[in-house]
Chain A
Amino acid sequence: MNRERMVNAALLTLLLGVPLWAWATDEPFTITLATRVAILALAGVGLNIALGLGGLVSLGHAAFFGIGGYAMGILASHAQSYTPLMESPFLLEGTKSMPVIWLVALLASALAALVIGALSLRTSGVYFIMITLAFGQMLYFFSISWPAYGGEDGLSIYMRNGFPGLNTLDPIQFFAICFACLAAALWFNARLVRSPFGLALNAARQSPERVETVGLGTFRLRFVAFVISGAITGLAGALFADLNRFVSPNMFSWQMSGEIMVFVILGGVGRLYGPVAGAALFITLEHVLGGISPFWHVWLGFLLLLVVLFARGGIVGLLAGRRVAHD
């Protein structure tokens, strides 16, 4: 077992152990914090596939996070007001069932990633960063000015959505659902990295010319990675909306995109468990520093600056010792 694996196992144990301990000592707030970590880490896992594996610096992943959130918000709000989503050409009802909502969130954000990716991947470098940012902003302003689903005020969902056989209102059970999603995504990510597709994608990041020369299209590799990445982040958005029982245009804001990126970088770009470490550190800092000073973002800023300037490879890189993930 190498060091990175040990770090990964420790991270997973910690993320599972802390809420269990909080459950035993009856501290629901800590469980909620751990749930946030799991969900945000899931969003980070999504971004990490594009960013770490594909080398696509997307500053617009809040678009998918928000679409996932609104997929949940729209379906659940129709279900709670007993109004159909649409009546013609066929009747479409809202739903309060999590699996259905997840499916819709995955499909809707994959579809959005399909469109955004097809357009954005025509560009590269800074242009790619900025066009993804612009698509995120486009949806942000759309969600603000579209009055049907709350506009600027967002949408409140009074009851958390249901999952067959579980009581989702119980914090530890909801945590278990989110943790399972995260674990599934991590497993998928690990498989993806070792699959022929993952290897080709990795190669396309390191040396696009060579990949083109052996006859693989870099555009197609990146495009597929971008769609998978967007879909996973969308699922995280649906869970996040369920955690808060609230969706608002804030989920689309570019600060959100920045924060998801921060999780990935703090943890370590391209590291499988980087987003988990990053999200855990972020939420812990928010909780600890936020208690000390209302201006904790200053300290977060300095920390992030230090990590970028001096500790490339993030936390996992620092603990596991190898500076670069997989070059």
Chain B
Amino acid sequence: MTPLLFIEQVLNGLQFGVMLFLMAAGLTLVFGVMGLINLAHGSLYMVGAFAAAAVAGWSGSFLLALVAALAASAAAGAIVELTVIRRLYDRDHLDQVLATFALILIFSEGTRWLFGSFPLFLDIPDWLSGPVTLPGGIEYPLYRLAIIAVGLSIAAGLFWLIARTRLGIRIRAGESDREMIAALGVDISRLYTIVFALGAALAGLAGAMVGALQSVQVGMGEPVLILAFVVIVIGGIGSIKGALIGALLVGLTDTLGGLLLPEALKLFMETSDATATGSALASMLIYILMAVVLIWRPRGLFGGAT
């Protein structure tokens, strides 16, 4: 294994982590503010990817496709919040899990109905394709670098939004005491719709950006959703900072584990055995990481003591 390959994998892990952050940020916000566990978040990711692929196919413009992904997923999020989610805030987690599981069924099969079972493809635009040469002579795809940049700037934007703006103040206030801020005259149900739509838009953006790397198909959201759950559990539910650190941790562990574990096992096993065992263990690594974090800190790294 060369250092070049290692750095490339670190960048891949970073890109994966940043994408997970976009998913996890919405989940953790919705949980922190509304106390809702939303399994259908992966469906909003899928909606974003499909909207992007459809608009890109029709207009040929990647930027327009991203805008469409943001708009479609935010709209889907708002509609779902207004019709279903809003009835679930006072319910226990079991009801929330089931109702959002039902939403997954509706979204997935509905999308299959509309678009068919075949995957769609979203092309990387010319101005973002091809490799760039990084300092040190590493060739790395420009598009993946762009994802890292977009993700990190959105993370910065979110921190600014939460810490510095009026909406952010309200979101934080809603997290700590919803009755009080309702009594102070803030329209709490509108705030909830906005937060939910914001989370949905971030998921949709992640879906659209990843859609250009993989194929756009029904069921693409759920694997990512589960990883995003792992992220927010590691980071501590409700914490944006935790989501960012958790996402990078999971992204790097997953990518580097697949690379390093078989190598490490080769030191004391036969090569073929090491590869098999290594890849089997690597696929479980992030879940092991999560179990370890939860045993060490049952509320996650940055979870409050609520």
Judge whether B163 is part of the interface by a CB distance below 8 angstroms: no
Mask: chain B, 211-228; 1 = CB below 8 Å from A; 0 = not: 000000000001000100
Q: Is the CB of A295 within 8 A of B237?
A: no
Of B97, B110, B282, the most chain A CB neighbours within 10 A belong to: B97
Majority secondary structure, B binding face: helix
Chain A stretch 106-150: residues in CB contact (< 8 A) with chain B: 119, 122-123, 125-127, 129-131, 133-135, 137-138, 141-142, 144-147
| A309 CA / B113 CA spacing, docked (Å) | 25
Q: Is the CB of A304 within 8 A of B233?
A: no
Q: Is the CB of A57 within 8 A of B283?
A: no
Chain A stretch 295-320: residues in CB contact (< 8 A) with chain B: 295-298, 300-302, 304-305, 308-309, 312
Among A94-102, A167-175, A236-244, A261-269, the stretch that binds chain B is A261-269
Q: Is the CB of B105 within 8 A of A304?
A: yes
Judge whether B99 is part of the interface by a CB distance below 8 angstroms: yes
Q: Is the CB of A142 within 8 A of B299?
A: no
A303 to chain B, nearest CB (A): 8
Chain B residue at minimum C-beta to C-beta distance from A57 = B94
B295 CB contacts on chain A under 8 angstroms = 119, 122
B113 CB contacts on chain A under 8 angstroms = 295, 298
A204 to chain B, nearest CB (A): 16
| A146 CA / B284 CA spacing, docked (Å) | 11
Judge whether A104 is part of the interface by a CB distance below 8 angstroms: no
A129 CB contacts on chain B under 8 angstroms = 37, 93, 97
Judge whether A258 is part of the interface by a CB distance below 8 angstroms: yes
Mask: chain B, 72-103; 1 = CB below 8 Å from A; 0 = not: 00000000000010010000011101110111
Chain B stretch 155-199: residues in CB contact (< 8 A) with chain A: none
Q: A138-B287, A295-B109 are in contact. Are A131 and B97 (CB under 8 A)?
A: no
Q: Is the CB of B102 within 8 A of A126?
A: no
B84 CB contacts on chain A under 8 angstroms = 305, 309
B7 CB contacts on chain A under 8 angstroms = none
A57 contact from B93, B233, B290, Cβ within 8 A: B93
Q: Is the CB of B233 within 8 A of A130?
A: yes
Interface size for B (C-beta < 8 A) is 43
- A interface residue count range (under 10 / 10 to 19 / 20 to 34 / 35 or more): 35 or more
Q: Is the CB of B110 within 8 A of A304?
A: no
Judge whether A51 is part of the interface by a CB distance below 8 angstroms: yes
B106 CB contacts on chain A under 8 angstroms = 297-298, 301-302, 305
A269 to chain B, nearest CB (A): 7
Q: Is the CB of B291 within 8 A of A135?
A: yes
Chain A residue at minimum C-beta to C-beta distance from B99 = A308
Chain B stretch 248-296: residues in CB contact (< 8 A) with chain A: 276, 279-280, 282-284, 287-288, 290-291, 294-295
Judge whether A254 is part of the interface by a CB distance below 8 angstroms: yes
Q: A126-B31, A138-B287, A261-B97 are in contact. Are A131 and B105 (CB under 8 A)?
A: no
| A127 CA / B106 CA spacing, docked (Å) | 26
Chain A residue at minimum C-beta to C-beta distance from B229 = A130
Judge whether B119 is part of the interface by a CB distance below 8 angstroms: no
Chain B residue at minimum C-beta to C-beta distance from A304 = B102
CB-defined A-B contacts under 8 Å, sample of 28: A57-B97, A119-B294, A122-B295, A123-B298, A129-B37, A130-B233, A133-B229, A134-B233, A135-B291, A141-B283, A142-B283, A146-B280, A254-B226, A255-B222, A261-B98, A265-B94, A269-B94, A295-B109, A296-B109, A298-B113, A300-B102, A300-B105, A301-B105, A301-B106, A305-B99, A308-B98, A309-B84, A309-B99
Hey, which bits of chain A sit against chain B, CB under 8 A? 51, 57, 59, 119, 122-123, 125-127, 129-131, 133-135, 137-138, 141-142, 144-147, 254-255, 258, 261-262, 265, 269, 295-298, 300-302, 304-305, 308-309, 312
| Additional A-B contacts beyond A131-B233, A298-B109 (18; CB < 8 A) | A51-B94, A122-B294, A127-B237, A127-B299, A130-B229, A131-B290, A134-B290, A141-B287, A145-B279, A146-B276, A261-B98, A265-B98, A297-B106, A305-B99, A305-B103, A305-B106, A308-B102, A309-B99
